[in-house]
Amino acid sequence: MINRRQILAGTAGIVAGAALGGRFGMGPAFAQGAAPTFTPEAGASLRLLRWVPFVPAEEEAFLANTKKFTDATGVQVRVDKESWEDVRPKAAVAANVGSGPDMVMSWFDDPQQYPDKLVDVTDLGTSIGAANGGWYPGLESYARRGDSFIALPLCAIGNAVVYRDSHMKAAGFQEFPKDTAGFLELCKALKAKGTPAGFPHGKAVGDGNNYAHWLLWSHGGRMVDENGTVTINSPETLESVKYAMELYKTFIPGTESWQDVNNNRAFLAGQVSLTANGVSVYYAALKDPAMKEIADDMRSVNLPIGPVGQSVELHQASTISIFKHTKFPEAAKAYLQFLYQPDNMNAWIQGASAYCCQPLKAYESNPVWTSNPIHAAYAKASASLRPNGYAGPLGAASAGVMADYVLVDMYAEAVTGQSSPEDAIKNAERRANRYYRV
């Protein structure tokens, strides 16, 4: 949490700079003069569209930084919140209609769907990265279009397995399995004990995509190759689908309709003993005295390693970008620059309580990562994430395939029996080829 002293200390230098003319650079971190400077337009006001927070303290820290910016510049910033599923279509409408919010906190490679509708922020992306140890490559790829930044990497929301330790041991396992074969056996044993697992096969922006991509990549499958040629119809993909079908048999009924709120609700209600989620599920249990037993019994671990032999995970990625239709681009750039000030970024990461993993390497040492053992599985999310467009280039095609839930639907069709594994893969191949224009 952020206290008043932290806010005042972080604000003092900025207010002093504003008093000298309202021009914004990055302060001490840019002592060598590499930072661009922005002067907010007269009468400027801004509107940001962001996703609904799952950790209240994250939003509190974000709004505290926003208030500091307004206090320093006089620029009012209105922050609108939408559900995770609704941010994508609302942002796309704003981009294509040319009106609405000035800025948006997007998911994955959404900015790649309308790059010509976004303000070039290469000056910010280059200078902020150079001053703070560099961006993590996976996150950076979401924000870049060729040599240009069309957005700024904001965070990775780590995805890890959360489970009830006592239930795992009651099922006959003293340690959490490290590979997919052992993981399947654990899930079978949990179901036999009446404490099943559950992973979303519904159109969940975060958890559904994270799970589906892990299933594919852990078995060596991929949507496209390095040239962007669709390669989803492969023996590796078929093995991943068959594995998903076996796991699904151990799940609580109804996971084919789960969205991002359902798996943590089921876990906190005691309906499942194992799922994958952000660290928010732990803090939801911790703040409710009635759930103390669950919080005390909860553990986190990274997803098991499959036949591919290495850890391969998607993780929820978010960027922040400026629409070209904004009337106040200088104010918007000044605001983004302010959010990435070291004091402000560290305060936000701390407030998020391990929910948001930093986009810049300089913040790896934030004490939040060692403040609680349950944070450990989330600490390397930004460093370890693999972009959803792997192994091809990110762009409109990869963004479209993700937004259309092609991979998520492939597994859902197969596990629920709507299609045979082979037909589900062929359907995914056909849909993906529409985006990759084959």
Q: Write down the number of H helices and E strands in the chain.
A: 18, 11
Separation of first and last alpha carbons in the chain: 50
**How far apart (Å, rounded) are the C-alpha atoms in residues 406 and 72?**
45
Residue in 320, 321, 313 with CA at minimum distance from that of residue 390: 313
- The answer to whether the Cα torsion of 321, 223, 208, 167 is positive or negative is negative
Assign 3-state DSSP to the chain and report helix, strand, coil percentages, each to 5. Answer: 50, 15, 35
From residue 265, alpha-carbon distances to 199, 261, 301 in Å are: 12, 6, 19
pLDDT reported for residue 11: 34
Query: Residue 28: what pLDDT?
Result: 39
Q: What is the pLDDT of residues 36-70, one digit of tens each?
A: 999 999 999 999 999 999 889 999 999 999 999 99
* Residues of the chain where predicted confidence (pLDDT) is lower than 50: 1-23, 26-33
CA atoms within 13 Å, Cβ hemisphere of 151: 31
Q: What is the spatial distance between Cα 103 and Cα 65, in angstroms, rounded to a whole number?
A: 16
Domains of the chain: 4-157+316-380 (3.40.190.10), 160-314+404-435 (3.40.190.10)
Strand arrangement, sheet containing 356-357: 76-82, 45-51, 103-107, 316-322, 152-157, 356-357
CA 98 to centroid of chain Cα atoms: 26
